[in-house]
Amino acid sequence: MLDKALVLFTAKSDMKKVYNKLVGRVPYKIIVQDERVPQKEAVSQFKSDINSVLLGTGSYWEGVSVEGTAFSNLVIFKLPFPVPDPIYEKKMEHCKNGLMEVLVPEMVLKLKQGIGRLIRKEGDVGIVSILDPRIGDSSNASYKSIVWESIPIKNRTTDLNEVKRFYDNITQNQDKGIYEKECI
């Protein structure tokens, strides 16, 4: 069964808002990143419960390893642009276009790391949903094409029926022991 989802956030406040909206309203166990619970323990809970959703920020973009078919849905709430700090500000001072020369490359790197939580090795399959409208079809963001060309996802859609067909195909192939190396 391919029900598990990891939802990655760039802000704890967004994560908490989504948690509050989901808890008690979806038929899944919602596991939320908590400073009092070690990441390893949260990931272990996620791995052991087939009907679970894991919400995380920060280290969850790079520190979570769930191999194989343990989860099949990755949701990226917002693009992971770096938080402004003196180092980034100094780097940007030395550029003609700090956004495109400093911030976008850093964001793309972190985005790839996030997507790597789902696609770890050949045979891993799943659905990556990027909810950030800044790279949506109607966006005019100067970095939109850079983002799409940089990530390993070539099958894009906003059609939920197409996503359902893809999901159903994964499920059928998984039941037959056939795996595809593609994401939508």
CB atoms within 10 A of CB 122: 7
Domain positions in the chain are 5-176
Check residue 100 and give left, alpha or beta (phi > 0: left; psi -120 to 50: alpha). alpha
Q: Which amino acid is at 85?
A: D
Binned at pLDDT 50, 70 and 90, residue 65 comes out as: confident
| pLDDT, tens only, 157-172 | 888 899 888 888 877 7
DSSP code, position 25: T
- The pTM of this model reads 0.87
- The CATH homologous superfamily to which domain 5-176 belongs is P-loop containing nucleotide triphosphate hydrolases (3.40.50.300)
Distance of CA 100 to the CA centre of its chain: 22
Q: Compute the distance between CA of residue 148 and CA of residue 120 in angstroms, rounded to an integer.
A: 19
Which pLDDT belongs to residue 166? 85
Residue 126 has φ and ψ, to the nearest 5°, of: 165, -175
Q: Compute the distance between CA of residue 142 and CA of residue 135 in angstroms, rounded to an integer.
A: 9
Q: Compute the distance between CA of residue 15 and CA of residue 83 in angstroms, rounded to an integer.
A: 16
